[in-house]
Amino acid sequence: MNAPDTSARTPRPIQALPDQLISQIAAGEVVERPSAVVKELLENALDAGATQVTVRLEEGGVKRIAITDNGRGIPPEQMPLALARHATSKIASLNDLENVGTLGFRGEALASIASVAQVTITSRTADVAHAWEIEGSHLATPTPSSGALGTTIDVKDLYYNTPARRKFLKSEQTEYGHCAEVVRRIALARPDVSFSLTHNGRTVDHWNTSEIARRSAQILGDGFAEARLPVDETIGPLRLHGFIGLPTASKARADGQFFYVNGRFVRDKVLVHAVKAAYQDVLHGDRFPSYVLSLDMDPALVDVNVHPSKIEVRFRDGRAVHQCVFHAVQRALAQTSATSHGSVPSPLPAADSLSTTPVWRGEQTSFGPLLAPDYAPTFSPSPFGSRSADTGSVSTSYAPPRFTAEGGVAQSLENYGAMFRGDERPVPLARNESDMTLPQASSFTVSAAAMAQEEFPLGFALAQLHGIYILAQNAKGLVLVDMHAAHERILYEQLKNALNSRVAGEEMQVQPLLIPITFYADAVEVGTAEEHQETLQALGFDIAVLSPTTLAVRSVPVLLKNADAQTLARDVLRDVREFGGSRVLIERQNELLGTLACHTAVRANRILSLQEMNALLRQMEVTERADQCNHGRPTWVQVEISALDKLFLRGQ
């Protein structure tokens, strides 16, 4: 495209622009579309102390925007100044500009709007007998009018005198959508104010005064209300409060993210990155969390005069703000475990060994027992009995389980019922001749004391379903656990803690292999092992080069001792090569640890004993972020008794 030829233009002298043109140029920055008008007028209403605000729109705000509030109002002698450029009651000196405590302060909004639309202001203060009205511009004279305490600003025919700007507007529904979004943003920041939104004569939204918990539920929906965590932390001069969504309630778009600084909705890279970093090891990269967060701070520590739209800010100490937000959100997410709504129990001491050996041969137990040696549960954690210390045979009190062709466990009902009793002996079945066709078991109920124990919110395992899910019973009803996802999260947190401990100066626990695992490796893998020995050792791996085509794994982290050493070695070499030795421990640590945890976690179709299942439940209860796996999927769900009753039409 050729550049315009300006050589033939007649040179013009430098001259002062007329006020109307100046206002229209300013309007190009402030009044980008109808939603910008709504934003400026709503901010003025809140700055005036309004507790009730009504927004009326016609044709997406292009034909009309009328906003009524019950604030302090404007005295009649000051109404012409309200429409003048660079006139405001909110700042008077440079010191005020550096400590802005209001939403509006530039003194250009009303003048800019009046330059591209027909504006009428009707206002009444508490000390006058009636309202006053001014129309047009600051050159007009206020006239008596009728109206309640507060202010109504009526904006009609936006861009009527600048038709070129009007051509760039979108459809009515699109412009209305932008206006409605602005109202929602501001309503979220001020739950103490009631808002009403009307479009083309129809009331679309109305929110009474409430608290942030209810207002956020009304605007973001029940899905957010049922899957959110409260945040309220004060760190030095900074206070972060609000709600963050659980990773399991993430969205494909970032349209549920609302961040406020001193009550002002902002889009700031520092804040967005801090929240994203806090979610990085509980949420898949292409998913977005929802949140409503407010950061309160000294106005002198933030510059809100960065852009005419006032949606961008600049912090005096961006790093401190980033760390405050990151750690506050991270700590809130760390409580997403089975105990997040109660007191977090102290980790239970692990027993040295289980008396019952896993029956499924060829598999090692991936997680050890966590029940305290002196803990006496209401029922036995396993119905299979104990093995004799002398012979290794199963006690005659119980029959060993039989594994069916489908991979399930066929266990007698007597032994199953014994789980829920404190005794060691199964009770004989009582059967009558008349009902021999029905499966019978001795009557049993779960002890209320056992179910009510706060330290076991996930309850106790009952069975395994399709080799994938654990079924457990707690005080509320049925608990379903995805055993691979749950174990993956547990291992991930353990690996992360071990690596962090090493950074703090402690040694990572490693497991030397009695017989090193050797495997064929290509030249790239061999080169990576030679070049990044320090990084590999920091991760707990000792991978030696035996020849140009052979590597040997001599040791692995203790937490990964049951995994396939060759697969782990190849994976860690791949990640180290891809991300770089130093970066993999800093920037890409979560991805690497997630890979290691996934390969080590218990696999589907692995048959677990009840003791193993209960051990996994106990570990979940003491593991941070145990509500979801590393990719944001839920690890367990609660099915309450009321839901089961409804499913089977009980009580109807």
218 lies in the same domain as 153: no
511 lies in the same domain as 622: yes
CB 431 within 8 Å of CB 440 = yes
Where is the domain boundary, 147, 174, 207? 207
Residue 420 forms part of a structural domain: no
* CATH code assigned at 487: 3.30.1370.100
Per-residue pLDDT tens for 350-375?
333 233 333 222 333 333 333 333 43
Can you tell me the mean pLDDT for 97-102?
62
Per-residue pLDDT tens for 417-427?
444 444 444 33
Question: Among candidates 189, 170, 168, 191, which has minimal Cα distance to 179?
Answer: 170
Helix (H, G, I), strand (E, B) or coil at 229: strand
Tell me the CA distances in angstroms from 221 to 173, 217, 224, 634, one per residue in order: 21, 5, 6, 20
Using pLDDT thresholds of 50, 70 and 90, give the confidence band for residue 107.
low
Residue 414 forms part of a structural domain: no
State yes or no: pLDDT of 129 exceeds 70. Answer: yes
Helix (H, G, I), strand (E, B) or coil at 206: strand
Structural domains counted in the chain: 3
**Token match 């790093």: residue?**
319
Where is the domain boundary, 338, 362, 378? 338
Residue 67 forms part of a structural domain: yes
Residue 242 forms part of a structural domain: yes
492 lies in the same domain as 568: yes
Tokens of 44: 């003025």
Angle (deg, nearest 10), helices 34-47 and 172-189: 20
Helix (H) or strand (E) holding 460: strand 460-465
pLDDT of residue 414: 46
175 lies in the same domain as 300: no
pLDDT of residue 471: 94
Residue 171 forms part of a structural domain: yes
The winner for highest mean pLDDT among 202-216, 300-314, 349-363, 594-608 is 202-216
The winner for highest mean pLDDT among 56-70, 81-95, 216-230, 369-383 is 56-70
139 lies in the same domain as 286: no
Using pLDDT thresholds of 50, 70 and 90, give the confidence band for residue 623.
confident
Q: Is residue 103 left, alpha or beta, with left meaning phi > 0 and alpha meaning psi from -120 to 50?
A: alpha
* CATH code assigned at 279: 3.30.230.10
State yes or no: pLDDT of 413 exceeds 70. Answer: no
Question: Which range has the worst mean pLDDT, 77-86, 294-303, 351-360, 558-567?
Answer: 351-360
196 lies in the same domain as 216: no
Q: Which residue has the higher pLDDT, 639 or 106?
A: 639
Question: Among candidates 194, 82, 576, 612, which has minimal Cα distance to 367?
Answer: 612
Using pLDDT thresholds of 50, 70 and 90, give the confidence band for residue 98.
low
The winner for highest mean pLDDT among 80-89, 118-127, 536-545 is 118-127
* CATH code assigned at 33: 3.30.565.10
187 lies in the same domain as 216: no
pLDDT mean across residues, the chain: 77
Question: Among candidates 50, 24, 155, 36, which has minimal Cα distance to 102?
Answer: 50
Residue 618 forms part of a structural domain: yes
Can you tell me the mean pLDDT for 497-524?
82
pLDDT of residue 394: 34
Angle (deg, nearest 10), helices 34-47 and 109-116: 140
Tokens of 498: 């071990």
149 lies in the same domain as 252: no
Q: What's the domain range around 532?
A: 449-651
Helix (H, G, I), strand (E, B) or coil at 232: strand
pLDDT of residue 358: 31
Where is the domain boundary, 289, 314, 338? 338
540 lies in the same domain as 627: yes
50 lies in the same domain as 129: yes
What is the pTM (predicted TM-score) of this model? 0.65
Q: What values do phi and psi take at 517, rounded to 5?
A: -90, 115
Per-residue pLDDT tens for 553-579?
999 888 788 778 888 888 888 888 877
Using pLDDT thresholds of 50, 70 and 90, give the confidence band for residue 56.
very high
Nearest 10 degrees: Cα torsion 561, 563, 567, 568 = -50
Residue 300 forms part of a structural domain: yes
523 lies in the same domain as 638: yes
Q: Which residue has the higher pLDDT, 136 or 290?
A: 290
Residue 433 forms part of a structural domain: no
Q: What residue type is assigned to position 296 of the chain?
A: D
507 lies in the same domain as 610: yes
C-alpha gyration radius of the chain: 34
pLDDT of residue 108: 73
Angle (deg, nearest 10), helices 19-30 and 109-116: 110
How crowded is the C-beta side of 37, counted as CA atoms within 13 Å?
34
461 forms bridges with which residues in the sheet? 472
